[in-house]
A = this chain, B = another copy of it.
């Protein structure tokens, strides 16, 4: 099915990818998908998926194309779906519109349905080719793809420190290590995530709310009206049942999941709070079970924002896939608080290895994005 693609093919698929990115902050937990329809070298329709429950990218593009879809080529960043869900299968939509050719950037990552959409199209006599700008398409949906392939969410751990890897002075003083622009960048990370995980410790000690704050979104403010802001699900790990509904965390009325070990609590919680009980392993919460519970709820792209101990536990258990590290141009000295605690790592050969994907300045701070690599 993989073929040599023309320059025009590449340009149209590149446009489809750009369209898909428009859903970056809104499609969760659905994938970001873009679609472009071309007839006689002319773009006759384009669309992207904006929000779960709303039409898929192909539907928008086909509507825009109307009769011109007849005999056209459709470029779509993800294999069109073949099942009846909240919307009819997109493959059927393309067949009914009588398109001649479909170019797909990546096949469906779910091994159980992968290829079904392509087969439906080919059975209808449509020419299908795949793999054009596949890497770019993969990068659109790390969470969705990870969940489909492995049944587990993609976890991005956000950390911030000085150049010498310290997050606070010995006294605990830490406001602010990084600058306002780096903190805005974190707001955007939250805004793109299905869920944010934090610890009861952070919620209690720092009175953290962990929500997306519209006025700190920077340029994104122009694209997302204040009253229409999607909040990530806020997940808090509370192994000792220390949370109480009076905390500021609960003052924002958006979905919260409290993950505990089943200890009783007699509080009355707001309606948007769900309690989940997971296994515990020698008094510690089973983090893999936590993530499985989130996966069951379709939460695929997770931002981990917590202190050195919990972040270290996730890292030690190889449950973190990507690190986003902000480094302020400061030296705090050896007495400061450590970035991450991983007590099980005692030999250099056991140190966690990463590969650097991105290195940029955000204001005066350094932003490093790195993948945790298997050894």
Quick check: A366 and B364 within 8 Å, CB to CB?
A: no
Tell yes or no: A359 within 8 A of B by CB: yes
Q: How far is the CB of A107 from chain B (nearest CB, A)?
A: 31
Q: How far is the CB of A323 from chain B (nearest CB, A)?
A: 8
Quick check: B332 and A170 within 8 Å, CB to CB?
A: no
Q: Which residues on the B side are within 8 Å of A169 (C-beta)?
A: 345-348, 351
Quick check: A330 and B352 within 8 Å, CB to CB?
A: yes
Q: Which residues on the B side are within 8 Å of A312 (C-beta)?
A: 333-334
Interface residue ranges of A312-370 to B (CB < 8 Å): 312, 315, 323, 325, 329-335, 338-343, 345-348, 351-356, 359, 361, 364, 366, 368, 370
Quick check: B339 and A165 within 8 Å, CB to CB?
A: yes
Quick check: A332 and B351 within 8 Å, CB to CB?
A: yes
Interchain CA distance A164-B162 in the complex, whole Å: 9
Quick check: A353 and B339 within 8 Å, CB to CB?
A: no
For A177, A312, A346, A361, the residue with the greatest tally of chain B CB atoms inside 10 Å of its CB is A346
Quick check: A329 and B348 within 8 Å, CB to CB?
A: no
Residue of B nearest to A337 (CB): B334
**24 cross-chain CB contacts under 8 A:** A161-B165, A163-B325, A163-B368, A164-B165, A169-B347, A169-B351, A173-B347, A177-B348, A308-B334, A312-B333, A312-B334, A329-B354, A330-B352, A330-B353, A333-B340, A333-B341, A333-B342, A334-B339, A334-B342, A335-B346, A355-B364, A356-B361, A356-B366, A359-B359
Chain A residues within CB distance 8 Å of chain B: 161-166, 169-171, 173-175, 177, 308, 312, 315, 323, 325, 329-335, 338-343, 345-348, 351-356, 359, 361, 364, 366, 368, 370
Choice from B333, B340, B354, B366 contacting A334 with Cβ under 8 Å: B340
Q: Which residues on the B side are within 8 Å of A347 (C-beta)?
A: 169, 171, 173
Q: How far is the CB of A336 from chain B (nearest CB, A)?
A: 8
Residue of B nearest to A341 (CB): B334
